[in-house]
Amino acid sequence: MNLLVIGRGGREHSMIMKLAESDKVDAIYAAPGNAGAREAAECVDLDELDIDGLIEFAVKKKVDLTIVGPENPLLTGIADRFREAGLAIFAPEKDAALIEGSKRYAKTFMEENSIPTAAYATFTDAGEAKSYIEKQGAPIVVKADGLAAGKGVIVAETVQEATDAVDDMLVNDAFSKAGKSIVIEECLAGEEFSLMAFVHGTNVFPMIPARDHKRAYDQDKGPNTGGMGAYAPVRNISPETLAFSAENVLQRAADGMAAAGRPFTGILYAGLIMTDNGPKVIEFNARFGDPETQVVLPLLKNDLLQVFLDVLDGKDPFLQWEEQCCAGVVLAAKGYPGRYKKGVKLPEMDFDARSFVAHAGTRKTNDGIVSDGGRVLLAGAKGAGVEEAAEYAYKWLGQNVESEEFFYRKDIGVEYS
């Protein structure tokens, strides 16, 4: 089969590495891909949002299946367009992807389908939002309604911090169109975890749980990022909690979308928090998480392509997982998630049997591989436990990438309660 993977980050490189293991694959194309993707795929100079160009390419190259990584093409309707052109694609259509594209819609949807989540209110007026915050007090969470690259969520520890966030979003247009409407919700206390599932209609096949580290610096300090590292599985989440989450979150969501006439096909991601009253949803995503994918897929025993095909055919893929843990540490450009420099040359990298690298913001030049984004790559490894896996990942980083131009957290896998 000929495959097309759309996207340019670590999540897409991770998918490509896993798909390349399949003996059913003839060719993998990545649009646009990155320097790491080139090792197993032919990179194509097409932007993720160039849907006309992507369709033309898929027809020309006789692509049998397309897999979409990032969220923006989903909300642009790439799955709708591909299916209209008679092309197979593993991705939700625009109406279904709205569960990620609008936090306002997602909260209403959860309320209507009895999916456990935090109490909330939505606003377009800054004054009304500030009055609500004054009444509720802090800590409190302020979210931009639309897509904001993982940065449109402010966990405010004080009322002042929350009202500043309101001004940034509704008055100062810090997140442009994404922040024209905001959601303000109660701040839930507990340990977070991510639970993803392969979904087609009302068929839901959960993966193992993962946990990522959102804050930029050690000890969960600093601004929120797209994720500075992750590990899987999460051993302190009980089988009972996972079963509850699969049934009352993922399954209810799939059933609710089907009943609403917007059936979901693709990867449904639930960001959850374990509260004193059980697990509750922080957010839904309509695609593989990043960096969770980079630590979940290496533990999947199944042929990933066969999983996609089985799910699309309405079959149970019978997911199987290694009895190990996987940890990944993100190497980021100095200054991320704020301003940072691109084009910094990466050193030559040596690999061993225990470690792997998922490229994210990288590109190939005549002089070698250079940085091309805030999150540059993820160094990962497997081990008997999270501590051992993280130890091998850090060992690789220490031996291969020590530069003042980059930084990484030193505590991936450590829990702060």
Residue 334 has pLDDT above 90, yes or no: yes
Q: What is the CATH number of domain 125-180?
A: 3.30.1490.20
11 Cβ neighbours under 8 A, 6+ residues apart:
69, 70, 287, 288, 289, 290, 291, 293, 294, 358
Contacts of 291 (CB under 8 A, 6+ apart): 10, 11, 212, 226, 227, 229, 230, 328, 330, 358, 375, 378
Contact between residue 112 and residue 256 where contact means Cβ atoms under 8 Å apart: yes
* Percentage of residues in the chain having pLDDT higher than 90: 90
* Entry pTM: 0.94
Mean pLDDT of the 262-286 span: 96
In this structure, are residues 5 and 23 in contact, taking their beta carbons and an 8 Å threshold?
Answer: no
Q: Cα-flanking dihedrals φ and ψ of residue 358, to 5°?
A: -105, 110
The pLDDT value recorded for residue 352 is 78
What are 348-376's pLDDT values in tens digits? 888 777 899 999 999 999 989 999 999 99
Residue 220 reports pLDDT greater than 80: yes
Residue-level pLDDT at 342: 96
3-state DSSP assignment of residue 54: helix
198 sits in the region (left: phi over 0; alpha: psi -120 to 50; else beta) called beta
What is the pLDDT, as a whole number, of residue 177? Answer: 78
Taking residues 57-70, report their average pLDDT.
Answer: 98
Domain 191-312 bears CATH identifier 3.30.470.20:
yes
- The CATH number of the domain covering residues in 2-91: 3.40.50.20
**Contact in structure between 357 and 377 (CB atoms under 8 Å):** yes
pLDDT over 80 at 5, yes or no: yes
Are 162 and 133 in contact by the 8 Å Cβ rule? The answer is: yes
Averaged pLDDT for residues 272-293: 96
153 pLDDT more than 90: no
Taking only the tens place, the pLDDT of each residue in 10-50 is 999 999 999 999 999 999 999 999 999 999 999 999 999 99
242-262 residue pLDDT tens: 999 999 999 999 999 999 999
Q: Name the DSSP class of 180.
A: S
What confidence tens digit (pLDDT) does each residue in 387-396 have? 999 999 999 9
Task: Give the C-alpha distances (Å, rounded to integers) separating 136 from 66, 139, 266.
Answer: 46, 9, 37
Q: Is the pLDDT of residue 203 over 80?
A: yes
Q: Quick check: 151 pLDDT over 80?
A: no
- Residue 174's pLDDT band, with cuts at 50, 70 and 90, is confident
Contact 225, 337 (CB under 8 A): yes
Q: What average pLDDT does this structure show over 402-416?
A: 91
What does the pLDDT read at residue 195? 98
CATH number attached to the domain at 325-407: 3.90.600.10
Three-state DSSP at 28 gives: strand
- Tokens 């049997």 belong to 353
What is the full DSSP assignment across 193-224?
Answer: EEEEEEEETTEEEE---BEE--EEEGGGEEEE
Domain boundaries, the chain: 2-91, 125-180, 191-312, 325-407
